[in-house]
Amino acid sequence: MTHPLNFTRSGLLQAIVGCLCSCLTITAVAQTDLTYSRDVAPILQEKCVTCHNPEGIGPMSLMTYEQVRPFAPIIKDRTTKRIMPPWHIDPTTGIQQFKNDASLSDAQIELIAAWVDSGALRGDPADLPPPLEIPSGSAWQLAAEMGPPDLVIRSTPYDVIANGQDQWWDPQVPFIGLDKERFLRAAEFKPSYPLGKRVVHHGHAVLIPEGEKREVALARYGVGKSYEIFPEGTGMRVPPNGRIEWNLHYFPVGTPGDDDVVEVGLWFYPEGQQPELETVGEAMFRVDGLNGMMRGQDILIPPNSYQVLTGTHVLQSPAVIHSYRPHIHMRGKVMSMEAIYPDGRKEVLSQVDKYNHNWQISYLYAEEAKPLLPTGTVLQFTTVFDNTANNPLNPDPNQWVVFGRRGVDEMSHAWVGITYLNEEQFAAAVVERNAQQNTLRLD
């Protein structure tokens, strides 16, 4: 396997040219009269303050010049290194059109760096963009767009410990509130505020319909992914009776709390309305423990070394992919999703090359970029584990690492937002996609 950091000759040339162009751009930007009010505040509003506000998960608020100025050198450092905002998709590989792209452009990064280097000036307050109205940490984030939830489900209380290893809470509660089958439009996972937002690392709320063994995944959560809105005309079929199985992963942060409760808000299509497409939401595609092996049996990472795992899944019907969310732990660094089409063509759909276990980001494809996959397509996932001192998240490169639920152990799977189609629906989707692409070319 080629090491992910190796360059081809043409790639090295492109990197050198890109570096020269960036340097020239930085020089040009630095010569302008950059200010916080006119140039930097709009970038921070667009990309940063949803987390960096008094009730957000960011460690400091970045909503005013007085708040930003002391951290200007740190902001330059983190943005230049692309540590912040968190966005770990490889920008050189696969699809690059996303609805929720949180990354900064090269030009934005260069502008921030030049502003800091030129003295981090305030500028004229009259140049400031209108202030944002940021929802409270205890509010439903989707409420501004969709109104209050149609139904709220709640976990049973859990006593959060102050310090210790990972904790799991797996209660079961009755599913109450629907008198007939409905189709889900959106769901939001809301840990309590403020403690829950700090200690709930990820979780699932899964409905087991009454008298059945199948699962209906109502909501899945990770730091970086709190809600999901299905595409227009797409919904999840939700039966009226059953039980909710919660799977909540708590990570202690030094603060105890009694009776912590997690809520999930559900928004449905109007009663009696059935959307055109029925989705399963996020489905797990495993990279470990396939081909008859026990789950995770093939994860065995020696000290100071790497391991690579590949898992393949054959689609038994056409499908459209809405989102991609890798799930690995502290030694996980790379996960790619590749399509191998029935005619033999191969295409890397997406690759996360700077995975960070602290963030569970769901990468939402733009409408015109969603992968449309015919029957027989092989989805191939490849994971690279880095158990060396080169991995800044590695707690101890001298340990053997095996499969496990704790962050210091490892997993290897992807949560893929996917809707399975019939052949007629797939053909119609292909026609619509071709029309979209023709329109984009004309534009």
**Whether 239 contacts 208, CB under 8 Å:** no
- pLDDT tens by residue, 363-394: 999 999 999 999 999 999 999 999 999 999 99
Write the DSSP symbol of residue 405.
Answer: S
Residues 319 and 323: their CA atoms lie apart, in Å, by 12
Q: At residue 61, does pLDDT exceed 50?
A: yes
Kindly state the percentage of the chain with pLDDT values over 70.
92
Residues 416 and 282: their CA atoms lie apart, in Å, by 5
**Whether 348 contacts 336, CB under 8 Å:** yes
pLDDT of residue 5: 34
Query: Which of the four pLDDT bands, split at 50, 70 and 90, describes residue 32?
Result: low
- pLDDT tens by residue, 63-120: 999 999 999 999 999 999 999 999 999 999 999 999 999 999 999 999 999 999 999 9
Residues 41 and 164: their CA atoms lie apart, in Å, by 39
pTM greater than the 0.75 cutoff: yes
Q: Report the chain's C-alpha Rg in angstroms.
A: 23
CATH number of 143-275: 2.60.120.230
**What are the boundaries of each domain within the chain?**
12-125, 143-275, 282-429
Architecture of domain 282-429: Sandwich (2.60)
- pLDDT tens by residue, 313-355: 999 999 999 999 999 999 999 999 999 999 999 999 999 999 9
Kindly state the percentage of the chain with pLDDT values over 90.
86
**Whether 277 contacts 185, CB under 8 Å:** no
Over residues 267-271, the mean pLDDT reads: 97
Query: Which of the four pLDDT bands, split at 50, 70 and 90, describes residue 443?
Result: low
Question: What is the distance in angstroms between the CA of the first residue and the CA of the last residue of the chain?
Answer: 41
Please identify which residue in the block is written with the tokens 């049973």: 156
pLDDT of residue 83: 95
Residues 329 and 306: their CA atoms lie apart, in Å, by 14
